[in-house]
A and B are shown apart, each in its own frame.
Chain A
Amino acid sequence: SQQGEEDPQALSIQEGENATMNCSYKTSINNLQWYRQNSGRGLVHLILIRSNEREKHSGRLRVTLDTSKKSSSLLITASRAADTASYFCATAQGGSEKLVFGKGTKLTVNP
């Protein structure tokens, strides 16, 4: 079963615009992670936010976490064509390192 659900399923924007993706989950978590997957390749870790954190930044990425609403958002600012990829949220629950992934958001950045 998949814990996280990303929204929207697909997003198409112009280069330079900001892209926002949302993730909702069902059970309590230890941390939430965002990964990127370029077409036909493995996943690349982007950012990890712990359950006691509310916001985190990494370069052009900004992640927020609202544990009361069981949701997270990933903001990519000043998008580039190279940001075109699928983005997945993944949650780690309990004492396990097991990650449960959502179905992902497919982002297309048009030059």
Chain B
Amino acid sequence: EAGVAQSPRYKIIEKRQSVAFWCNPISGHATLYWYQQILGQGPKLLIQFQNNGVVDDSQLPKDRFSAERLKGVDSTLKIQPAKLEDSAVYLCASSNRARLMSEQYFGPGTRLTVT
């Protein structure tokens, strides 16, 4: 089966600019996650969707970050305006809700550099 797709793979922007990332999960996976991974650390969950509804966004900086999954498939994560500390890899993952508490499948990530 095809894996989780993400684009772009790399993005360089200046602080205060905006940026958007796209994710296409594995077909049939109802649960989608966005993680932020700062260099040298483990991934930190930003937001979790179940179909097109938000399950957990407690660690999403809502003053600048937003995410949507309108049709319960693809998702976009936006940062506006970006800060230097947003430099990180943004990972998208999906899981099969039918298998409760199952493994997550990760995309290759988008490496964001804010200058």
Residues of chain A having any CB pair with chain B under 8 Å? 2, 4, 30-31, 33, 35, 40-45, 48, 88, 90, 92, 96-104
Contacts and interface: CB of A to CB of B under 8 A. Distances in A.
B42 A103 contact: yes
Contact of A103 (B4, B40, B56, B106): B40
Interface of B: 4, 31, 40-45, 48, 55-56, 91, 93, 95, 97, 100-109, 111
Given A97-B31, A97-B95, A98-B56, A45 B104 contact: yes
10 contacts: A33-B103, A41-B109, A45-B105, A88-B43, A92-B101, A96-B55, A97-B95, A97-B100, A98-B56, A104-B42
Shortest Cβ-Cβ A-B pairs, 5 listed: A101-B42, A42-B106, A45-B103, A43-B106, A42-B108
A96 B95 CA distance: 13
A32 to B, nearest CB: 11
Contact of B41 (A48, A96, A100, A103): A103
